[in-house]
């Protein structure tokens, strides 16, 4: 089955029941464990997500077995907006998560933090800037923390990688999957939905009606999406360099 650019995916049957199976080399065992952990957290927060059945290693392979869902690309995007808003309303105690996980194939660092601006600078942007320099990209760097001054969000459980390819629909309603969860500013989830094509307008209208965004989001979304653009630069190469520099220029002019 199709399942993304990292793992091999299969439909399997056990005792007449069908499941969705992801496989990769045994080095990916921690990736699968983090994904199972994230899916369970999303479900606990009230989001519809595939149920993780089992994960582990077998010989030279690692695997993750999930509930098999009949997914469609189109459905009730307004319901998706309301579902996400309801999950975001439930506050956590601090920013971060109980374990590190992955954003795509890149390690994502989630050490607990009480200050959101510090978390975003040290756990999100700095590791990506460091990795970009190691890969030979000369993009410069500036402290963008002032853009988060006087912005004090409560910690919401985030999907963490919520682009249009990680949401779909069943006959029961919207579903999200392939998470990179942590507690953070809900605006970071909303910002990523606007990358790579975005969601239909009814999604944003329903979210805004259920849980209005704070003043300043239209600028902060670029700060949050810089993380994902840097990650795509580091994963997929110089095709994203122009977008990274454009976003950095916009943010620098706003300081």
CA pair distance 72, 230, nearest whole angstrom: 30
Whether residue 161 lies in the annotated active site: yes
Q: Which listed residue (100, 143, 161, 214) is catalytic?
A: 161
CA pair distance 114, 94, nearest whole angstrom: 5
As a 3-state breakdown, the chain gives helix, strand, coil percent values, each rounded to 5, of: 45, 20, 35
Q: What is the side-by-side order of every strand in the sheet holding 8-14?
A: 8-14, 17-25, 61-67, 52-58
Q: Which DSSP symbol is given to 215?
A: T
The residues that bridge with 18 in the sheet, in sequence order, are: 13
CA pair distance 84, 199, nearest whole angstrom: 13
Other beta carbons within 10 angstroms of residue 121's beta carbon come to: 17
CA pair distance 106, 196, nearest whole angstrom: 19
Return the active site residues: 161
């Amino acid at each position: 089955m199709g399942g993304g650019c990292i793992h091999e995916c299969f439909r399997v049957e056990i005792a007449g029941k069908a499941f969705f199976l992801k496989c990769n080399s045994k080095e990916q065992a921690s990736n699968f464990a983090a994904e199972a952990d994230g899916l369970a957290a999303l479900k606990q927060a009230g989001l519809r997500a595939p149920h993780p059945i089992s994960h582990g290693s077998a010989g030279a392979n690692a695997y993750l077995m999930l509930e098999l869902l009949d997914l469609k690309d189109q459905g009730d995007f307004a319901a998706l907006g309301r579902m996400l808003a309801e999950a975001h309303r439930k506050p956590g105690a601090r920013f971060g998560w109980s374990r590190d996980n992955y954003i795509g194939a890149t390690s994502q660092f989630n050490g607990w933090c009480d200050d959101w601006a510090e978390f975003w600078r040290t756990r999100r942007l700095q590791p990506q800037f460091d990795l970009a320099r190691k890969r030979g990209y000369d993009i410069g760097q500036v402290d963008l923390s002032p853009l988060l001054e006087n912005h004090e969000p409560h910690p919401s459980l985030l999907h963490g990688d919520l682009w249009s390819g990680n949401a779909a629909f069943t006959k029961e309603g919207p579903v999200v999957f392939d998470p990179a969860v942590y507690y953070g500013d809900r605006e970071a989830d909303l910002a990523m939905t606007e990358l790579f094509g975005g969601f239909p307008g009814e999604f944003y209208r329903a979210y805004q009606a259920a849980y209005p965004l704070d003043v300043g989001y239209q600028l902060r979304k670029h700060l949050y999406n810089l993380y994902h653009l840097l990650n795509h630069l580091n994963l997929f190469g110089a095709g994203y360099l122009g977008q990274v520099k454009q976003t950095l220029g916009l943010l620098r002019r706003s300081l």
